[in-house]
Structure 1
């Protein structure tokens, strides 16, 4: 584990301790892993009380992780602990973000994802070209899905 990961763990636990003070409740420390993949910066596993961070996006955006991603994911766990299962970015989570974490409740990041973007496949419809992920491409190949253009509503076909 590198020093940046240690910093993120310390920030997560520090945010948790501050939230405990504001909420007047104690919470167990979450399991923290650095195994989130793909374009997602982080995820909160509610049932297992776990936070997963994306190590590639972390290395590329360390300050944003400290300022935004850590409080965002921790707010999901705390919202679950206080309110049970609610809408992921609903009013309870938004209040947790703004009032307890002191961070603007943004639901998505704006990181450059070029380094984590997977292989894509070229498809077309009547009006333009589309890029499908490998997962969607495989579903088309196995005849498990047909995707349609959101503009012209025609089925997408692989471009040769």
Structure 2
């Protein structure tokens, strides 16, 4: 498993070298961690110059992850360093993705997330089935919350 973190770090460095060559300036290297959980593949913490990546999605999709997710997150940091506060997937970020990294500027990944998707509990209203997260399910059980269907305005009830 030590090969993937090393490949990840090498890909981040390669993205920075490409950006520096194409943009004609140097950039500080970010701190990198593999401590992102959930369904997101990566996250850029702009003011901290830090990148976090999802180790499960990296292990399940190594080639696509390195080719798409790493430049995506690096482009967020570069957009911040070049332009300051901008829309997350706005024109500045899109230009970096397409012209610097030769990648399609897609805002979301298309990985199978079934292995990282949260457990859900079945609920029902008057018109359809719903899936509540563990957190919402526990709030209902403790009497701290009540959820209503947006379509039929009826309360959701646990399905048995």
Same fold (TM over 0.5): yes
Distance 1:132 1:40 in 2: 19
Distance 2:90 2:30 in 1: 22
- Identify unmatched segments of 5+ residues in structure 1: none
Deviation at 1:88, TM superposition (A): 0.9
* 1:2-17 map, 5 Å: 2-17=2-17
- Change over 3 Å in CA distance of 1:83–1:147 after alignment to 2: farther
Q: CA RMSD for the aligned pairs?
A: 1.8
Residue matched to 2:119: 119
Residue matched to 1:44: 44
Residue matched to 2:86: 86
Deviation at 1:147, TM superposition (A): 3.8
Distance 1:82 1:141 in 2: 49
Residue matched to 1:57: 57
- Change over 3 Å in CA distance of 1:49–1:139 after alignment to 2: farther
Distance 1:144 1:91 in 2: 42
Greater shift in the superposed pair: 119-128 or 130-139: 130-139
Distance 2:150 2:80 in 1: 34
What TM-score do you get using the length of structure 2 for normalisation? 0.90
The alignment partner of 1:78 has SS state of: helix
Residue matched to 2:76: 76
Deviation at 1:79, TM superposition (A): 0.7
